[in-house]
Amino acid sequence: APISVRTLSEALGIKANDLLRKLMAMGSMATINANIDDELAVMLAMEFGMTLDVVHERTAEDDFMQAFAPAAEADALQPRPPVITILGHVDHGKTSLLDRIRKSKVVESESGGITQHIGAYQVEYNGHPITFVDTPGHEAFTAMRARGANVTDIVVLVVAADDGVMPQTVEAIAHAKAAEVPIVVALNKIDIPNVDTAANVSKIFGELAQQGLNPVEWGGDVEVVKTSATTGLGVSDLLATLETIAELHELKADPDRPATGTCLEASISEGRGVVATVLVREGTLRVGDVVVCGDGYGRVRALFDDQGRSIDKAGPSFPCEISGLDVVPDAGENFAVVDDVGRAREVAEARRLRTRDAAQAERQTVTLENLYNRMAERKVKALNLIVKADVQGSIEAIIKELEKLENAEVPIRILLKGVGGISESDVILADASQAIIIGYRVAPEDRAITMADEKDIEIRRYDIIYQVTDDVKKAVEGMLVPEI
Ligand code: GDP
């Protein structure tokens, strides 16, 4: 368990207030229930002339988490297929492109090749497998990321050539950037008459460049591939580009260790119990392995690939469906193979207790008021903001003012700026990225309000620019007092 000021006070026999005062003198604002890291606790004890030995009790969970430690030996690492997620504005062709890629490349299986939607699939290009996550859209992408599952290696941003960069395109770019994932643009619907003209293409290049995606043809570093999901034109160029980028990033994994990975989706299926689509990230998953995934555990009874074929093992970046878990895990939960069922049960049961406790405990998200403390506790490294405003001019004015406030201790990152109301998607991004949403002369949508309440995300609304900068300035300096 982490050390709170309270537990430290009990352990050292020093009044919590004295500790807090000393902490403040050391430049850290904290409260009695705040957790401080080991290093700071040791330093604090030293200030009172005591030596502190921090010993953390090892739990089954700690042992379990060892499974996710990076491979010890670099030579054990072998190239693995890249994992691709397709994002973009609604109706720009994400689903069609996913279908087209799947159809064009799936080898008919002996069983007749019934492709099922299991949440991901793999195709082969030039003898190299490429994995696609089958749930397009940045909500799913970022919901996964909120659980710490950064499964995506490359984002394909679909932009319809007849429509150009649209609001959700901008959002998708922000989500991909927040995840620090390389982006390839698929300029789709290029088959539509009169869209593949120099003037139209350069208009869209300009829109992309404005969003920080400078096309290679313009001397930038973002590949833009013309595609048509309808005719199949450019699809192999897209795959070739993905393969090149994957090679550039030298994606590797060790296939010879016990498997770890991520649940992409899961449900209860009649007659089969809990079925989960998982993506193996390290190691090789086999039938008979005991896994813990989220709050669930169990022995893998059966493994199926994306064409519904029964398989006996799955290696890195391979998507497959497993049955045998006792409860349905959430999308984005990690899984790992453990030695025996007893240990798996111990980890899963401890997690269930914790999930229950956590649901009761107060959620610790970032607000402008607690920013300074959270930074002192080293839980937050920057002030992440999402800025939505009524008009483009307001955004520019606000950003310009905010840039002036940034200091070395508190970097300010604008994750997303845009014209329009505050949407659910903004709240999801804020949740995944510990961000605060600033609405300038715009209101949140009802569903965004509900979700922000649930997730405890701070939405601050303003009508006057200097009030925005005033609050942020105070927050950055730790001077903002909560309104009562
Ligand atoms: P999504 O909302 O991004 O998943 O978009 P869909 O894949 O559902 O496509 C939206 C519409 O655009 C559908 O009517 C598709 O048939 C059409 N569409 C998708 N890709 C293309 C394309 O390359 N060319 C043309 N002409 N139509 C396309």
Stretch among 65-79, 84-98, 338-352, 431-445 having the lowest mean pLDDT: 65-79
Q: Taking a C-beta distance cutoff of 8 angstroms, is the pair 452, 429 a contact?
A: no
145 in ligand 1 pocket by Cβ < 6 Å? no
- Is 312 assigned to a binding site? no
Task: Outline where DSSP puts E strands in 73-182.
Answer: 78-79, 83-88, 120-125, 128-133, 154-160
Of 91, 102, 132, 166, which is best to mutate to test ligand 1, by the most ligand atoms within 8 angstroms of its C-beta? Answer: 91
pLDDT, averaged across the chain: 87
pLDDT score, position 358 = 62
215 in ligand 1 pocket by Cβ < 6 Å? no
Does residue 116 surpass a pLDDT of 70? no
Considering only CA atoms, which of 426, 416, 403, 413 is closest in space to residue 380? 413
pLDDT band at residue 162, thresholds of 50, 70 and 90?
Answer: very high
Give the helix/strand (H/E) hosting 319: strand 319-325
Q: Taking a C-beta distance cutoff of 8 angstroms, is the pair 264, 321 a contact?
A: no
How far is it, in rounded angstroms, from Cα 317 to Cα 459? 37
Segment 17-26, tens digit of pLDDT: 898 888 888 8
Q: Indicate which residue's Cα is closest to atom 20 of ligand 1.
A: 93
162 in ligand 1 pocket by Cβ < 6 Å? no
How far is it, in rounded angstroms, from Cα 404 to Cα 426? 24
Segment 209-248, tens digit of pLDDT: 999 999 999 999 999 999 999 999 999 999 999 999 999 9
31 in ligand 1 pocket by Cβ < 6 Å? no
Determine the average pLDDT of the residues in 194-205. 96
